[in-house]
């Protein structure tokens, strides 16, 4: 009788997200942080190099530099110097106000993060529940997954005003927008994650007459955690974007979305403020991503790396 080839553990783990085990064990984080710092430094260097070559003249008390080229987007109005943006953080956010721009942006970022975090949690729960339903019902998966995918084809800029009109100009609308951008990556990743366990483990569970609930909690869900955290890291930044976009039509006066709109209206008199608000938004997304990454390290710590197939 011909023997079937034995399936290796490495083959069963092929579907696991690349780098998930490395991230879960905490190895390699200095390299990742170093790579991020290197890319950020390179971006700032290119930024200032463009201004050095094609920006406005540089003048100090003892030195003047007149760039040989004129690049339209490298002017001080279109592309302020990095040190001017950083310096603006220490200046008052408005005239005759004691609060600095940095203090104002930190408060606005905290407000936006609270909205995004609520939508992030709600979207993650919805995504996990939908994925569990689809994995256990092929009929519902075939019927509803195309609509889940189609829901993401609507631009969020166009959808946000409709949500605000339906639910009113308050925090609830912003949370719904953040939830909308969060649930989709979690749903798609968890469908694959919940189907990732080794078929032999599934057969073993069934041979012991394990219920669907027991299989879900003891086998499917633990196996899907690397997929879940991969989706959550994507959703963390997406929820921040959704909250910022929603704060404009949502009429939220305290978040980064309103700050970006206000500083955009004042751009001619202070372009550094708008760039500083954009920088604060980017930092907020990175921090939220980092929090999810730290949670991934804590939850997946100690998982063994898959053996080579």
Give the closest residue to 121 by CA, choosing from 292, 285, 282, 254. Answer: 292
Asked if the structure places residue 87 within a domain, the reply is no
**Number of domains observed in the structure of the chain:** 2
Asked if the structure places residue 198 within a domain, the reply is yes
* Same-domain status, 118 and 37: no
* Same-domain status, 75 and 109: no
Contact residues for 202 (Cβ-Cβ < 8 A; gap 6+) = 215, 219
* Same-domain status, 46 and 131: no
* Same-domain status, 243 and 114: yes
pLDDT value, residue 154: 87
CA distance 295 to 44: 30
pLDDT value, residue 2: 44
Asked if the structure places residue 307 within a domain, the reply is no
Look at residues 34, 63, 79 and tell me which one is the last residue of a structural domain.
Answer: 79
* Same-domain status, 110 and 49: no
Asked if the structure places residue 309 within a domain, the reply is no
Chain position carrying tokens 């499917």: 220
* Same-domain status, 125 and 244: yes
Asked if the structure places residue 84 within a domain, the reply is no
* Same-domain status, 27 and 120: no
**Local confidence pLDDT in tens for the 309 residues of the chain:** 444 444 444 444 444 554 454 444 456 778 888 888 899 899 889 988 988 888 888 877 788 888 888 888 888 888 898 888 998 899 888 877 788 899 999 999 999 999 999 999 999 999 999 999 999 999 999 999 999 999 888 888 888 889 988 888 889 999 999 999 999 999 999 999 999 998 899 888 888 888 889 999 999 999 999 999 999 999 999 999 999 999 988 788 889 999 999 999 988 888 999 999 999 999 999 999 999 999 999 998 866 544 433
pLDDT value, residue 291: 95
Asked if the structure places residue 55 within a domain, the reply is yes
Radius of gyration (C-alpha) of the chain in whole angstroms = 25
CA distance 12 to 54: 55
* Same-domain status, 292 and 172: yes
* Same-domain status, 68 and 108: no
3-state secondary structure of 48: helix
**b/e map 70-101, b = 16+ CB within 10 Å:** eeeebeeeebbbbeebeebbeeebeeeeeeeb
CATH code of the domain containing 228: 1.10.3720.10
DSSP assignment letter at 169: S
pLDDT value, residue 17: 55
- Structural domain harbouring 60: 21-79
CA distance 303 to 26: 10
* Same-domain status, 57 and 120: no
Give the closest residue to 186 by CA, choosing from 143, 239, 142. Answer: 239
pLDDT value, residue 12: 43
CA distance 203 to 153: 38
* Same-domain status, 33 and 126: no
Asked if the structure places residue 285 within a domain, the reply is yes
CA distance 285 to 74: 26
* Same-domain status, 197 and 294: yes
Look at residues 79, 114, 147 and tell me which one is the last residue of a structural domain.
Answer: 79
Asked if the structure places residue 65 within a domain, the reply is yes
DSSP track, 86-107: HHHTTSBSSTT--SBHHHHHHH
């Amino acid at each position: 009788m011909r023997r079937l080839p034995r399936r290796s553990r490495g083959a069963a783990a092929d579907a696991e997200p690349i780098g998930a085990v490395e991230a879960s064990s905490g190895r390699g984080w200095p390299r990742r942080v170093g790579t991020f710092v290197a890319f950020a430094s390179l971006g700032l260097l290119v930024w200032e190099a463009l201004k050095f070559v094609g920006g406005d003249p540089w003048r100090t008390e003892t030195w003047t530099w007149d760039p040989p080229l004129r690049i339209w987007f490298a002017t001080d109005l279109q592309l302020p110097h990095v040190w001017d943006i950083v310096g603006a953080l220490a200046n008052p956010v408005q005239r005759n106000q004691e609060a600095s721009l940095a203090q104002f942006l930190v408060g606005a970022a905290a407000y936006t993060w609270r909205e995004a975090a609520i939508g992030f949690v709600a979207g993650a729960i919805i995504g996990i529940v939908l994925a569990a339903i689809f994995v256990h019902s092929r009929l519902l998966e075939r019927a509803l997954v195309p609509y889940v995918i189609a829901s993401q084809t609507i631009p969020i800029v166009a959808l946000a005003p409709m949500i605000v009109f339906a639910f009113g100009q308050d925090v609830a609308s912003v949370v719904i927008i953040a939830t909308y951008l969060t649930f989709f990556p979690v749903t798609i990743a968890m469908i694959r994650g919940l189907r990732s366990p080794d078929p032999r483990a599934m057969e073993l569970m069934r041979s012991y007459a394990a219920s669907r609930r027991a299989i879900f909690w003891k086998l499917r869900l633990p196996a899907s955690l690397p997929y879940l955290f991969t989706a959550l890291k994507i959703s963390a930044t997406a929820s921040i974007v959704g909250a910022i976009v929603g704060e404009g039509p949502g009429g939220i006066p305290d978040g980064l979305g309103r700050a970006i709109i206000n500083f955009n209206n004042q751009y001619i008199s202070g372009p550094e403020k708008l760039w500083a608000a954009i920088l604060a938004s980017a930092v907020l997304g990175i921090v939220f991503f980092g929090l999810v990454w730290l949670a991934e390290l804590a939850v997946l710590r100690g998982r063994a790396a898959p053996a080579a197939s």
